[in-house]
Amino acid sequence: MTLGKEKIIPILAMVVLFVGIAATIYVNANENQETITEKEIIINEQIYSFEDLSKIFQNITIITDDGEKTGLPLKDIIVYSEVTCPNCNRYIFRANDPYQQTILWNDVKTGVLTYDEKYNLRVYFPNLAHTFWVYNLVEIEVNKL
């Protein structure tokens, strides 16, 4: 190995570790800064508790490529949150870490809101890849198309 490469690999490794540690600190520092609790979610700028939503809506079950998922119908929840023209918007599903995915009504209306096995709020969609199944969900932002 040339001397240059031998020297540069450990230096690059240190840079990589520094970036990874800094990113970890940043992500953890930015988590849980929402004013809502774990059992609440902001939908269209209004705060709802999952328990209250559970009293209003009945669970439905959808079939995904990861088996059956049972939860509250997103279609009804969105309409309940005073979105007047559901088809006229795009919906940003935001996690607290702060991962987010943007989904259109045609897919949103097929999804369910529920708790996953780690007791985090999560959405599932039967026709979308797992990338869109946002967990640690804290907000559904509604934006005009």
Partner 1 sequence: MNKNIKYFAAIMVFGSLWGFSECIIGPQISDAGFPSGALMTGFFALFFLTISRLFYKKRGMQFGMGVVAGSLRYFNPFGGCHVCSSIAIVAEAFILEIIFDYLSNVDLNQLKSLTTKVGLGVVSAYSVYIGGTIVTQILTPLSYNSFYIENLFLAIPSILADGLLVALIGAAVVPITIELSRFDLKLADKLYYPTTAGITGLCWIIVIGNFLLL
Note the residues at the interface with partner 1 (CB under 8 A).
1-2, 5-6, 9-14, 16-17, 19-24, 26-27, 30, 65-66, 97-104, 107, 117-118, 128-132
Min dist. Cβ of residue 138 to partner 1 (A)? 13
Nearer to partner 1, 98 or 115 (CB): 98
Nearer to partner 1, 14 or 88 (CB): 14
Exposure b/e, 126-141, CB count within 10 A at least 16 = b: eebeeebbbbbbbbbb
Look-up of token digits 């809506």: 57
Min dist. Cβ of residue 115 to partner 1 (A)? 14
- The answer to whether the CB of 92 falls within 8 A of the CB of 32 is no
Nearer to partner 1, 53 or 112 (CB): 112
Nearer to partner 1, 51 or 65 (CB): 65
In degrees, rounded to 5, the angle at the alpha carbon of residue 128 between the alpha carbons of residues 70 and 104 is: 100
Token pair, residue 96, equals 């607290």
Assign 84 to helix, strand or coil: coil
Min dist. Cβ of residue 104 to partner 1 (A)? 7
Furthest-apart CA pair in the chain: how many Å?
A: 69
Min dist. Cβ of residue 77 to partner 1 (A)? 20
